[in-house]
Structures are given as C-alpha cells and as structure tokens.
C-alpha cells in the first residue's frame, strides 16, 4: 500500500519549495493564459504577460479572481481543459449564495485525494484503520474528498454520508470505526447522541476525527474530543481549490499545514488587495499551481486567517494557517463593533453550555439588536423563572465582556435548537432581509 507520508515534500526546505512552486507557477500561468480567455482578459487588462511571471516573487503581479468572477463565468468560463478530458464535477455548498461548480481531470482528482491522504496520515491513519466518512456525499466535496483520501491511505472506508445519526453510531460499533470524518457540528451531534443512547466513548473504537468545512473553536474541539474520546484534527479546503485537504492539522494541533507544493497561499488586505507580511491577519488567497481543469490563480477565499512558517514538532516544514476566523462575510458589524460567531461560541462553551445556539441580528428603531438563543442541557434546565433569568444575565454579561456590546440572551429548553448534519447555520441576519 502506498505510503502517504510524503517526507520529501512535506519536510522540504524553503528554498527548494520556492523553486518547485516557481517552476509550477510559470507553467500554470502559461496554461491558463492560453486556455482561459476569461483570465487572459484580466491579465491583458492589467498589462501582465506570462513572461512577466518568472517565480513566486512575481505572483503579486497577477490579477485576483473572486467568487463574483466564478459566478459570472458559470459554468464553463474558467475551464482550462476540454470537457472530454474532465472526469468529475463538484459544487460548493452554496453557504453564501449561488453555487459555483469546479471541474477535475483524473490528474486533478488524484492530486486532491493525495492531499487528503496526507491529512489522514497526519491524523495517524494507516491501512489498519476503519474510516467512517459522514460528510455529505453528492456535489459537496466533503464526502468525495475524504472518501478518496481514505482509499489512497488504504483504510477500510465506510461511505456513510451524513444523517441518520443512530445508524452512524450502530455501524461505528458493529464495524469498529477508528476514524470519523464529518463537520465539527455534526461530530458534536454524534457525541451528544452517543450519550443519549446510554453509551460512552468506551463503547466505541474511535481514536481520531477529521473535522472541517466550517469554522469551529478550540472550546468546541475539547467538547468533541471529550464526548467521543478522540483526538480531533482540523482540515480545510474549498471547492474552488479542489475540496478539503488544502490544509490539515498534524499531531501538534497548532494550525494547519498547507499543501503548498500544490496551493500557494498569500494573505492580503481585503480592502486594498495589498499582500501583507507573514504573521498578519487578512484574507487568504490561493494559487493552484498543479491543477489542470480548473486552475484558479490568486483566488480570494474571503476567509480571514494568518500564515506562519516555523519549525513544527511533527517535522513538517509546510507553512501553517491558523484556524480561519470566519469568512469576511461571516463578520457581523453590530452597533459599529466587529463580531464573529466564533467569539460567541467560545464564551458559551466556557460558561458550560453545549454548542447549540442561534444568533439573530436585526435593526429596530435605527439600532442594531443582537439576540442569542442558547440551549440548556437537561441538567441546566429549570422551570423557575428567576433561576433562568439569573443565568441569562450572567451569560449576557460574559458575552458583553468578550464583545464590548450587550446581547439579549434567551435560554431555551433542551433539544429546541435544530442540530446540524452538515454545515451549521448559526446566524440569521434579518437586517439583510430588510435591505
């Protein structure tokens, strides 16, 4: 069975990595210029010719691509290979609007699955493992990506897809799953269901989880790790760059190593587009240097993030990205203050609540309102009005300390907030509906 610890690449020194990236980038720019009229027009407009790109140091000269471009060019406008050479189409989940589609040649599918295989290997996966894939299958890349990676590592793969949670647990027990792959919100739901079925982590054989596709906090990680008795690893990616596996966590769990032999990252100022120095927080941009059918150059992810290069205890030299702090469009501006759902999640879990909550923002009498419904567990539940009010006040105070603005907290009865089997919807911004 192939070994997916790619030491030659994953531990490559920086100069060599830059050389490899540069060689691939030069070829890729040529390929895109010749085959994608949409991007060629952007380069021409900026006055950039393929010959101007000689190494990664010239990357900043290229024009950006955005989600709006993908929507405009939908469906075939960014395709760089004839459809007869393509073997797959996947699509985004459509979290923030109209879906976009991505195309893959067999080379692209292999590249993607290799990246995921590195991620599974970094989480300790080998051909001895039973890997339960509970991401949704279909056009969404989660299921297909982890499925393909699991095959490459040689794990015994259980293509469960998401949903039917009790059956997930039943199979987990009957077939001895050791690795669980799904969204973190679904992992939390599976953990909760396990306990409701009267079971404990001792009743299952899971040792690791590979969770991604949505933002999740360190507090959420600890909640999941405890409820399932596992080590939980983060994995990042987006359909536009192939899918999950662009970056993955190693045993150190302090950020995700980017597969930078395939995806060159940059951090830019989202307002000005200027490239920011390493360590700054800004918008993450990727250039896919080795993909054939859908090779996006300088694609703006809208994910806010930070890059750091340093020695990692796992031995990998691949640059690391921090957990994305959310998309630039997840950030809510409430009464002039920038608020991320993850900040609220952190406080809730610290205060002993489960990560079942819903944030509603509205505007009344020209002032923004922030309402947070938080579910009580059966033990926290009380039918004494005064008890509940005291708890709501305490929680609102803790959130105010974190955000600087006061929310209205509503503690709601156990099980009243819908659980997620895929990407959780945590925010309803009604101001957008009025606009």
Binding site for Zn ion (CB under 5 A): 250, 252, 312, 314, 316
Going across the sheet that includes 408-412, the strands are 408-412, 367-375, 357-364, 427-429
Q: Which does 262 bind (CB under 5 to 8 A by kind): ligand ADP, Zn ion, none?
A: none
Q: Which does 345 bind (CB under 5 to 8 A by kind): ligand ADP, Zn ion, none?
A: none
Closest distance between ligand ADP and the C-beta of residue 34, in Å? 27
Q: Which does 95 bind (CB under 5 to 8 A by kind): ligand ADP, Zn ion, none?
A: ligand ADP
Q: Which does 324 bind (CB under 5 to 8 A by kind): ligand ADP, Zn ion, none?
A: ligand ADP
**What is the Rg, in whole angstroms, of the alpha carbon atoms belonging to the chain?**
22
| Residues with Cβ within 8 Å of residue 251, at least 6 apart in sequence | 122, 124, 231, 313, 314
Closest distance between ligand ADP and the C-beta of residue 214, in Å? 5
Q: Which does 250 bind (CB under 5 to 8 A by kind): ligand ADP, Zn ion, none?
A: Zn ion
Closest distance between ligand ADP and the C-beta of residue 302, in Å? 7
| Residues with Cβ within 8 Å of residue 63, at least 6 apart in sequence | 39, 42, 43, 45, 46, 48, 297, 298
Give 300 or 391: the residue with its C-beta nearer to ligand ADP.
300
Kind of pairing between the strands at 320-321 and 299-308? antiparallel
Give 312 or 370: the residue with its C-beta nearer to Zn ion.
312
Give 154 or 237: the residue with its C-beta nearer to ligand ADP.
237
Closest distance between ligand ADP and the C-beta of residue 16, in Å? 28
Binding site for ligand ADP (CB under 6 A): 92-96, 140, 212-215, 234-239, 301, 303, 323-324, 327
The whole-angstrom separation of Cα 338 and Cα 326 is 12
Give 236 or 299: the residue with its C-beta nearer to Zn ion.
236
Give 3 or 96: the residue with its C-beta nearer to ligand ADP.
96
Closest distance between Zn ion and the C-beta of residue 244, in Å? 18
Closest distance between Zn ion and the C-beta of residue 404, in Å? 35
Q: Which does 236 bind (CB under 5 to 8 A by kind): Zn ion, ligand ADP, none?
A: ligand ADP
Give 50 or 244: the residue with its C-beta nearer to ligand ADP.
244
Q: Which does 316 bind (CB under 5 to 8 A by kind): Zn ion, ligand ADP, none?
A: Zn ion
Closest distance between ligand ADP and the C-beta of residue 283, in Å? 11
Give 89 or 314: the residue with its C-beta nearer to Zn ion.
314
Give 191 or 341: the residue with its C-beta nearer to ligand ADP.
341
Cis peptide before 316 (omega within 30 of 0): no
Q: Which does 125 bind (CB under 5 to 8 A by kind): Zn ion, ligand ADP, none?
A: none
Number of Cβ within a 10 Å radius of residue 218: 13
Closest distance between ligand ADP and the C-beta of residue 70, in Å? 10
């Amino acid at each position: 069975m192939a070994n997916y610890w790619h030491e030659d690449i994953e531990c490559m020194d920086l100069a060599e990595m830059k050389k490899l990236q540069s060689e691939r980038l030069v070829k890729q720019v040529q390929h895109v210029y010749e085959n994608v009229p949409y991007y060629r027009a952007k380069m021409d407009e900026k006055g950039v010719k393929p010959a101007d790109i000689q190494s990664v140091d010239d990357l900043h000269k290229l024009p950006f691509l955005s989600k709006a471009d993908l929507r405009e060019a939908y469906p075939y406008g960014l395709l760089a290979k004839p459809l007869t050479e393509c073997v797959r189409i996947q699509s985004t989940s459509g979290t923030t609007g109209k879906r976009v589609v991505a195309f893959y040649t067999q080379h692209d599918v292999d590249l993607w699955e290799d990246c995921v295989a590195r991620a599974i290997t970094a989480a300790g996966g080998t051909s001895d493992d039973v890997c339960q894939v509970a991401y949704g299958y279909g056009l969404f890349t989660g299921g297909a990506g982890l499925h393909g990676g699991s095959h490459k590592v040689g794990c015994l793969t259980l293509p469960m897809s998401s949903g039917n949670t009790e059956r997930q647990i039943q199979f987990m027990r009957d077939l001895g799953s050791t690795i669980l792959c799904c969204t973190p919100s679904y992992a939390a739901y599976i953990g909760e269901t396990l306990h409701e079925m009267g079971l404990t982590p001792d009743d299952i054989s899971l040792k690791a989880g590979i969770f991604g596709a949505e933002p999740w906090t360190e507090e959420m990680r600890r909640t999941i790790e405890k409820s399932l008795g596992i080590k939980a690893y983060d994995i990042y990616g987006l359909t536009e760059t192939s899918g999950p596996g662009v970056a993955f966590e190693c045993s150190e769990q302090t950020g995700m190593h980017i597969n930078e032999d395939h995806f060159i990252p940059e951090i830019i100022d989202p307002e000005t587009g200027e490239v920011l120095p390493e360590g700054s927080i800004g918008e993450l941009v990727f250039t896919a240097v080795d993909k054939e059918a859908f090779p996006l150059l300088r694609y703006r992810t809208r994910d806010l993030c930070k890059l750091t290069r340093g020695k990692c205890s796992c031995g990998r030299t691949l640059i690391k990205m921090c957990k994305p702090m959310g998309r630039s469009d997840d950030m809510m501006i409430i009464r002039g203050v920038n608020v991320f759902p993850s900040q609220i999640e952190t406080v809730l879990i610290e205060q002993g609540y489960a990560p079942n909550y819903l944030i509603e923002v509205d505007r009344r009498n020209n002032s923004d309102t922030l309402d947070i419904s938080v579910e009580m567990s059966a033990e926290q539940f009380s039918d004494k009005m005064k008890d509940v009010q005291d708890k709501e006040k305490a929680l609102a105070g803790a959130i105010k300390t974190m955000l600087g603005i006061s929310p209205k907290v509503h503690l709601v009865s156990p099980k009243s907030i819908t659980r997620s089997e895929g990407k959780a919807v945590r925010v309803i911004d009604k101001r957008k509906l009025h606009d």
